[in-house]
Amino acid sequence: METITESLNRVSNAISEAAKRAGRSPQDVTLIAASKTTEAIQVKTAIQWGLRNFGENRVQEGIKKFIETGLIKEIDRLHLIGPLQNNKVKKAVGVFDLIHSVDSLRLAEKLNQEAEHQSIQQDILIEVNIGGETNKHGVSIQETPLLVKAVQSLPHLSLLGLMALPPLTETAEGARPYFATLRQLGNDLGLHRFSMGMSSDFEIAIEEGATWVRIGTAIFGSRTQ
């Protein structure tokens, strides 16, 4: 079984090779360690390796793991990569540097209101339901342009790009059309930064333009919870 350090070396090398295959610089791709259910000691090991971006699925878990332990001082950015409930907005704004999962105008307006209250600019991504799946979060492809336009009018939000979680496919290659669709959608809207790709398909995502990849099990191993 690989250690976290060995896993990070392998994943980092794979990211570099995928970027080079696509004619891109590896520096254009940010590795986010999806640290859901991991212990602080595992996060500490990843930090010691040199990792500075971490993503949590739940607001309270992120606060407990990074804020209450002080680990937030040792990283560059804490990302919220899971769904955000309206009643968690106040706790999320100002704690998470980038919120990946904005999928409605109502949520965006609440985030903007709280960011205004804190006198800050909150970075966000719009989550797109790229496969049109009824069991997943995200705005539809058809409604994305309207949401992008509305969000861009909110003065305390900074829209950096789009995020997606494609449908499960039998092979990593099967996810390629979904990643390509997200990239084209973003480009059409003047957005060129994309959060897409996880442990099973991040190399394909990078080849299709991912600028953030969210990797958990390939770094920390299978989750126990």
Written as one letter, the residue type at 155 is P
Delimit the domains of the chain by residue range.
4-220
DSSP label of 73: G
% helix / strand / coil in the chain, to the nearest 5? 45, 20, 35
CA 29, CA 210: separation in Å to the nearest integer?
Answer: 7
Is pLDDT of 225 > 60? no
pLDDT tens per residue across span 104-117: 999 999 999 999 99
Residue 224: predicted pLDDT: 58
CA 3, CA 108: separation in Å to the nearest integer?
Answer: 39
Q: Which of 45-49, 65-69, 77-81, 219-223 has the lowest mean pLDDT?
A: 219-223
Taking residues 16-26, report their average pLDDT. Answer: 97
To the question of domain 4-220 being in CATH 3.20.20.10, the answer is yes
pLDDT tens per residue across span 152-207: 999 999 999 999 999 999 999 999 999 999 999 999 999 999 999 999 999 999 99
- Percent of the chain scoring above 70 in pLDDT: 98
Residue 195: predicted pLDDT: 98
Its pTM stands at 0.96
Side-chain-side CA neighbours of residue 80 (13 Å)? 28
Written as one letter, the residue type at 7 is S
Residue spans of beta strands (DSSP E) within 57-152: 77-80, 98-102, 122-128
Tell me what the pLDDT averaged over the chain comes to. Answer: 96
Taking residues 34-56, report their average pLDDT. Answer: 96
218 sits in which H/E element: helix 217-220
CA 127, CA 140: separation in Å to the nearest integer?
Answer: 9
Residue 2: predicted pLDDT: 86
